Amino acid sequence: MNTAAIALEAELKVSIMAESLIGSEIIKLAGEINEKIRNGEKIYNLTIGDFNPKLFPIPALLKKEIIAAYTNDETNYPPADGILQLRQVLSSQLKNRMKLDYPADQILIAGGARPLIYATFQAIVDSGDKVLFPVPSWNNNHYSHLSSTQQLAVETKPENNFMPTADELRPYIGEANLLALCSPLNPTGTVFTEAGLKEICELILSENKKRVAKGSKPLYLMYDQIYWTLTFGNTLHFDPVSICPEMKQYTVFIDGLSKSFAATGVRVGWAFGPKKLIDKMKAILGHVGAWAPKPEQVASANYMKHENEVDSFLVEIKGKISSRLDAIYKGVILLKNEGYPINAIPPQAALYLTVQLNLVGAKTMDGNILSNSKEVNKYILDEAKIGIVPFSAFGSSSDSTWYRISVGTCTLEEIPQLVSNLKNALRKLQF
Ligand SMILES: Cc1ncc(COP(=O)(O)O)c(C=O)c1O
């Protein structure tokens, strides 16, 4: 296209929602990193919440079943809520693994977790409604924007491992229509404690008593537990319905294959919750056509019914992820103990390590002062050759000193070099 045509197109009016939609901050950052890699620099790219499939392949049996499903011509439309066989396997796994009772007709399959989150918002909130969520958190701002809702973002604290508390949410509970929570949390890799989550459930239940008495729409909870199988050491996963069974009528769970099985490109996710909501979400996604591909659904059902295979895969992947997280954590703490102004939260779950870099105000070798988290991020990328994501990209305030490190693309062997690069970059700063 010539420049005049490009300029003309830029003037075209589109919807206000589309015009003001912002892209993923992390993908933007990854673009800059890829540019450096293309220019021949060796960069440790720890920005993306994804896996390198060469280091983290999907389960061999799942791969075999996907190929078999195509060979067997499982290539027509799947049912709108997903194939029954998969929903039945998931129903029985929910019972076995989480002691949750959800029949197949309260489970909805889609092309990964994202369409299900979109459908949850669409089924619950009207334009102008309010969505309450903690920050840092993943993409709640974008899903709120897509549904033209108002965002009530509550900044959480490092001393609570960045998990929201009932006290922090209480001031907004009365005006919110949807509360979006996630545990284990992206970006922090931390989880709710049982007591912490219970207090939040009690807050929702007491709010809903008032709303039901008035006949108004209840406050729903979207509980994204897509990382729940990836907990390490003594860390346990808690969910609202096991803790407070009355929460069942207000809770939509989000889950999927993507993270547990390193299958981000396979695109199979599921939601489960109250039948009425699940049916509405099914109707919404039916029009969008956001089904998981049928061969992948057939393969997932055939794979997941082998509980022993699933268990041994989970043990393996958890070992691989936690050894990487532990190694980086230990490296950061070593540097902290040497006096550098950095810190980290011990890894609990997911693919992520939460690291603090208290570097704003530091002077670089060429006399520049690092004045915000973006500049710190750039300094670490340029000097240490490490790409990480500032919590400000997850909605935290721009002066947040915390960053996400994701380990799905790094090898254990390269971690000592990575830590040594970080040390060299820190050594060059004047505090
Ligand atoms: C908390 C959380 N939920 C959902 C997703 C999206 O999952 P999917 O790839 O299955 O759409 C992500 C992806 O990064 C995530 O971090």
Ordered by start, the domain boundaries in the chain are 8-41+312-427, 60-310
* Ligand 1 atom with minimal separation from the 268 CA: 10
Nearest partner of 298 among 79, 59, 56, judged by Cα:
79
| Ligand 1 pocket test target in 185, 226, 409 with most atoms within 8 Å of CB | 226
pLDDT for res 130: 98
pLDDT for res 4: 77
Rounded to the nearest angstrom, the distance between the alpha carbon of 371 and the centre of ligand 1 is 32
SS (H, E, C) 129-164: CEEEEEECCCCHHHHHHHCCCEEEEEECCHHHCCCC
Residues 28 and 14: their CA atoms lie apart, in Å, by 22
| Residue whose CA is at the smallest distance from ligand 1 atom 4 | 113
Pocket of ligand 1, beta carbon within 6 A: 49, 112-114, 138, 182, 186, 224, 226, 256, 258, 264, 269
Rounded to the nearest angstrom, the distance between the alpha carbon of 28 and the centre of ligand 1 is 17
* Ligand 1 atom with minimal separation from the 258 CA: 10
Residues 147 and 131: their CA atoms lie apart, in Å, by 10
pLDDT for res 228: 98
Rounded to the nearest angstrom, the distance between the alpha carbon of 24 and the centre of ligand 1 is 13
Nearest partner of 261 among 306, 222, 323, judged by Cα:
306
- Determine the topology of domain 60-310 in CATH: Aspartate Aminotransferase; domain 2 (3.40.640)
Residues 37 and 195: their CA atoms lie apart, in Å, by 45
Rounded to the nearest angstrom, the distance between the alpha carbon of 314 and the centre of ligand 1 is 18
Residues 263 and 303: their CA atoms lie apart, in Å, by 13
How many CB atoms sit inside 10 A of residue 45's CB? Answer: 20
Rounded to the nearest angstrom, the distance between the alpha carbon of 263 and the centre of ligand 1 is 11
CATH number among 3.90.1150.10, 3.20.20.70, 3.40.50.740, 3.40.50.620, domain 8-41+312-427:
3.90.1150.10
pLDDT (tens place) for every residue of the chain, 431 residues total: 777 777 778 789 999 999 999 887 777 788 889 889 999 999 999 998 999 999 999 999 999 999 999 999 999 999 999 999 999 999 999 999 999 999 999 999 999 999 999 999 999 999 999 999 999 999 999 999 999 999 999 999 999 999 999 999 999 999 999 999 999 999 999 999 999 999 999 999 999 999 999 999 999 999 999 999 999 999 999 999 999 999 999 999 999 999 999 999 999 999 999 999 999 999 999 999 999 999 999 999 999 999 999 999 999 999 999 999 999 999 999 999 999 999 999 999 999 999 999 999 999 999 999 999 889 999 999 999 999 999 999 999 988 999 999 999 999 999 999 999 999 999 999 98
Residues in Cβ contact with 385 at an 8 Å cutoff, skipping those fewer than 6 apart: 41, 42, 43, 44, 421
Q: Are 253 and 39 in contact (CB under 8 A)?
A: no
Rounded to the nearest angstrom, the distance between the alpha carbon of 120 and the centre of ligand 1 is 14
Q: What is the pTM of this model?
A: 0.96
Q: Tokens 């050594």 — which residue?
A: 427
* Ligand 1 atom with minimal separation from the 116 CA: 11
